[in-house]
Chains A and B, each alone.
Chain A
Amino acid sequence: MTTTEDIAIHDIDGLIDRMAAGLRSLLAERRIDDPVMIGIHSGGVWVAERLHRELGLSQPLGSLDITFYRDDFSRIGLHPQVKPSSLPFAIDDRHIILVDDVLNTGRTVRAALNEIFDFGRPASVVLAVLVDRDGRELPVEAQVTGCFLDLGPDREIKLRGPAPLSLDIVERGGEGGA
């Protein structure tokens, strides 16, 4: 069975081009000329690396590992592969493009915003995601998306990478996604 979903998720380059175009027009509309970009580990960083190159941003790319800010620490504990967050620029008064691979419940973005605000007070934050899907549990929306998928409660989508990037839709197993 071939659906529009299949076509969209097999054209990652197309999705990233669409995100880049969306970001360009959003930045122009808001008159932001020197934004900084931050990817969320791990998938968000892979997508951000591509966007960062396509937009030709001058500041180095930042990365966030939100493990210490997750709301399910007391249930699942520390992720054993936690990576240091790296924001190689001052956050205060900067316009930030926050990038993640999949926007699902919104909890990851909530945690990422909390962490960003522990580094400083940004002027603004826009959210750009490769895949926006159903399943929101918090009032979080992306300003720029590669595509929207209605997957229902029983299916998950995963980005594999870093090179080449590919999206897989899988039946939800025992592991809960965030």
Chain B
Amino acid sequence: MNTTGIVSRMPLPGPLPSSMQLNEQGRLRHLLTIEGLPRALITEILDTAESFAAMNEQAVKKVPLLRGKTVVNLFFEASTRTRTTFELAAKRLSADVLNINISTSATVKGESLLDTLRNIEAMYVDMFVVRHEASGAAHFIARHVAPHIAVLNAGDGRHAHPTQALLDMFTIRRHKGDFTKLRVAIVGDILHSRVARSQIHALNILNTGEVRVIAPKSLLPACVETLGVHVFHDIREGLKDVDVVIMLRLQRERMEAGLLPSEHEFFQLYGLTEERLALATPDCIVMHPGPANRGVEIDSRVADGPHSVILEQVSYGIAVRMAVMGMIMGGASGGGANA
């Protein structure tokens, strides 16, 4: 976890995100990270998401579960897909949704963030969906919000993006079923990827047969093996016989930091092409959390090809986010007031 921005200003230590996201009954209270979630709870989220996915057959794609609740999308960092799928998920649960985009200027630091929170809390809201460039931001907010408010991490710095990992698990389970027999390869910029961290935790909690990461040394975090992965620097070796290929977005801003010579060279060495994909199992699936840089990490023919499930991931993202919101709001009020 990095210590830039607000995180360095908050009092440490405190309860870990993994402990404070469950209530006394072991139900979801917040969702901050995949780390430490019990397997049974992840399975329950995926099962509940199946029911929400079936709702797409309804003429009225809406259920009254969160009627009267207010969900605030608190986005300190740009996002289209994640914000819109959270918004749709909340709306299909009949919640009211407020979108607040706060630019992360240098002035937005610890205290003014808390002021922002207090102001929104005063509007009688029930859930914050938080996206922030600083690792630990959602955790920080969860520790400081009023006790009736639930916090859902929609991506914090390099740390975690739990709903993305859950929708990826949902997509894999739909196509492949049993995780224990699977080889899954995550390819690209692991170093900066909160998605990769959350995916690795989720895959290991679900007992995935083998989790591989494929990347140049400069784009791998130190001691990445301790997360429970096999490391490959050669994409041809790494893709051999895998059932699932997860491509990550190459964050172009990293190029300036001198971690990579050029986009072109990255594609030459690590780009997913049809020829390389042929090394994987014949019925492998190709995933990407988006937005994809065509011709940088993935060839258009693969992104649009028969193995690609990239657009399915987007659809499933709504069902999975509905499941998480429903479980949190049910569990949160169920544990508290006796109505």
Contacts and interface: CB of A to CB of B under 8 A. Distances in A.
Interface stretch (B62-70, B101-109, B223-231, B272-280): B62-70
Interface string A83-94: 111110001000
Contacts of A87: 57
Interface string A39-50: 000000000000
A68 B1 CA distance: 38
A82 B43 CA distance: 12
A66 to B, nearest CB: 10
B334 A69 contact: no
B51 A85 contact: yes
A76 B330 contact: yes
B150 to A, nearest CB: 12
B51 A83 contact: yes
Contacts of B338: 75
Nearest to A67: B51
A74 B27 CA distance: 14
Contact of B63 (A68, A76, A83): A68
A119 B51 contact: no
B330 A73 contact: yes
A46 B195 CA distance: 43
Interface in B51-85: 51-55, 57-60, 62-65
Interface residues of B, number: 27
Interface in B19-73: 27, 44, 47-48, 50-55, 57-60, 62-65
A80 interface: yes
Given A69-B64, A84-B54, A78 B48 contact: yes
B339 interface: yes
B110 to A, nearest CB: 34
A80 B51 contact: no
Nearest to A90: B59
Contact of B58 (A75, A78, A82, A118): A118
Contacts of B330: 73-74, 76-78
Interface in B289-339: 326-327, 329-331, 333-334, 338-339
Contacts of A91: 59
Interface string B140-167: 0000000000000000000000000000
A137 to B, nearest CB: 16
B278 to A, nearest CB: 36
Given A69-B64, A74-B333, A118-B62, A84 B327 contact: no
B331 A120 contact: no
B51 A68 contact: yes
Contacts of B44: 80
A74 B339 contact: yes
Contacts of A73: 65, 330
B333 A119 contact: no
A82 B59 contact: no
A75 B60 contact: no
- Give the interface centre of B27, B64, B338 by most chain A CB atoms within 10 Å: B64
Contact of B59 (A83, A114, A119): A119
Interface string A52-68: 00000000000001011
Interface in A102-144: 114-115, 117-120
Contact of A114 (B51, B64, B326, B327): B64
A68 B57 contact: no
Contacts of B326: 68, 78
Interface of B: 27, 44, 47-48, 50-55, 57-60, 62-65, 326-327, 329-331, 333-334, 338-339
Interface of A: 65, 67-69, 73-78, 80-87, 91, 114-115, 117-120
11 contacts: A68-B65, A74-B334, A75-B334, A76-B334, A77-B330, A78-B326, A83-B51, A85-B51, A114-B64, A118-B58, A118-B59
Given A74-B334, A75-B333, 10 more contacts: A73-B330, A77-B334, A78-B326, A80-B48, A81-B47, A82-B47, A84-B50, A84-B53, A115-B63, A118-B58
